[in-house]
């Protein structure tokens, strides 16, 4: 049964599964020198600009960690929100591979300049890690979106402080859809230096891309990726998936469906439970009475986000159907 635990829980989109099967013919050169990977590189340049370079890795942790590693030295630090995935759910991998994370108080899941300023301190102090990167999660951990104006404001502030900008885009295409902009308008044009571009949460079987938008940062990435054991040998199978993802704007259709289902879910739950954040991507954060949670989870799996308030995260994905949401809502009402 389909649940609402994560967009990682969904299967592979049929068009992407077909692309994998189509690529599974004959032999092809390995380690990114095959024809499909070369075509995919050009496609990323089409979306992000001629200076963009895309590097495939196996998972989102690697995409984030290696993005930071190419941007900073081990004695430097990266500003993230207090609820960011890198800070909460990467088992200290960013600090193991790259450098120090500085958790900054978030407002609706976002970084703000007043809070960043509080941590931009002790420059030149040999006893303190030196600020080098800010990382924006788009959409945020709670499904809210930075507007293009907010991103521009943050990148402008960062550049004025000689800081680089990373964007954690595990669900990046949802933001592109919801803000009705191009990929480059949200990143390259606004001064983002490196993007972690999500695939797995958006219908791929496996594979993410690190999109290096600042050409100065890309020259050593292939060595960093190899040293971190993230260089796929049969790269064509990741490339084939991304080619299908971009083909005929499939990424927009996937994003539209998952986001529209979240809006539908929000409408169905309105007045029944408290929704804690604006629903701007494919997630809802609802406070569900504790006695109901266990019974609900027996039928529709989801995660309790906050054990104190029983705020629960409900995720939709490319294969969520209205009947899944109707079933959940009807069951919830029957328990009240």
pLDDT tens sequence across 166-201: 999 999 999 999 999 999 999 999 999 999 999 999
Q: How do residues 59-101 score in pLDDT, each as one tens digit?
A: 999 999 999 999 999 999 999 999 999 999 999 999 999 999 9
Report helix, strand or coil for 164. strand
**What confidence tier does 1 reach under pLDDT thresholds 50, 70, 90?**
confident
Q: List, in order of start, the domains of the chain with CATH numbers.
A: 14-249 (3.40.640.10), 251-335 (3.90.1150.10)
Percent share of the chain, pLDDT over 70:
100
Average pLDDT (264-277) is 96
Q: What is the pLDDT of residue 336?
A: 84
Q: Is the predicted pLDDT of residue 287 greater than 90, yes or no?
A: yes
- Work out the angle at residue 268's Cα, subtended by the Cα atoms of residues 263 and 274, and round it to the nearest 5 degrees: 90
Mean pLDDT, the chain, whole residue set: 96
pLDDT at position 172 is 98
Tens of pLDDT, residues 127-137: 999 999 999 99
Confidence class for position 260, pLDDT limits 50, 70, 90? very high
Q: What percent of the chain has pLDDT over 90?
A: 98
Is 147's pLDDT higher than 90? yes
- Judge contact between 70 and 132, C-beta under 8 A: no
Residue whose C-alpha is closest to residue 247's, from 33, 32, 43, 56: 43
309: confidence class by pLDDT, cuts 50, 70, 90? very high
* pTM more than 0.85: yes
pLDDT tens digits for 19-35? 999 999 999 999 999 99
- Tell me how many degrees the CA angle 149-305-285 measures, rounded to the nearest 5: 50
Q: Is the pLDDT of residue 138 over 90?
A: yes
In the structure encoding, which two tokens stand for residue 17, read together? 């599964």
d(CA 300, CA 331): 10
């Amino acid at each position: 049964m389909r649940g609402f635990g994560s967009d990682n829980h969904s299967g592979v989109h049929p068009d992407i599964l077909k692309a994998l099967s189509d690529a599974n013919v004959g032999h092809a050169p390995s380690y990114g020198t095959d024809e499909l990977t070369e075509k995919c590189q050009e496609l990323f340049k089409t979306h992000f600009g001629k200076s963009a370079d895309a590097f495939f890795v196996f998972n989102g942790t690697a995409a984030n960690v290696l993005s930071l590693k190419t941007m900073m030295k081990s004695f430097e630090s990266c500003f993230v929100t207090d609820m960011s995935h890198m800070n909460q759910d990467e088992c200290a991998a960013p600090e193991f591979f790259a450098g120090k994370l500085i958790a900054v108080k978030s407002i609706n899941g976002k970084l703000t300049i007043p809070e960043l300023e509080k941590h931009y301190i002790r420059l030149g102090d040999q006893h303190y890690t030196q600020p080098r990167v800010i990382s924006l999660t788009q959409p945020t951990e709670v499904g809210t979106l930075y507007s293009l104006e907010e991103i521009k404001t943050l990148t402008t502030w960062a550049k004025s402080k000689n800081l680089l900008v990373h964007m954690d885009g595990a669900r990046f295409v949802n933001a592109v859809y919801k803000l009705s902009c191009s990929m480059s308008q949200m990143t390259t044009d606004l001064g983002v230096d490196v993007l972690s571009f999500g695939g797995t949460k958006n219908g791929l079987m496996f594979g993410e891309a690190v999109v290096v938008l600042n050409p100065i940062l890309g020259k050593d990435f292939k060595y960093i990726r190899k040293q971190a054991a993230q260089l796929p040998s049969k790269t064509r199978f990741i490339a084939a998936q991304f080619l299908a993802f971009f083909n005929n704007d499939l990424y927009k259709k996937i994003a539209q469906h998952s986001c529209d289902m979240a809006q539908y879910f929000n409408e169905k739950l309105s007045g029944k439970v408290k929704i804690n954040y604006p629903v701007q991507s494919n997630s809802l954060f609802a406070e569900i009475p504790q006695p109901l949670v266990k019974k609900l989870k027996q039928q529709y799996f989801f995660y309790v986000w906050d054990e104190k308030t029983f705020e629960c995260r409900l995720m939709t994905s490319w294969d969520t159907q209205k009947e899944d949401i109707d079933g959940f809502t009807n069951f919830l009402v029957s328990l009240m």
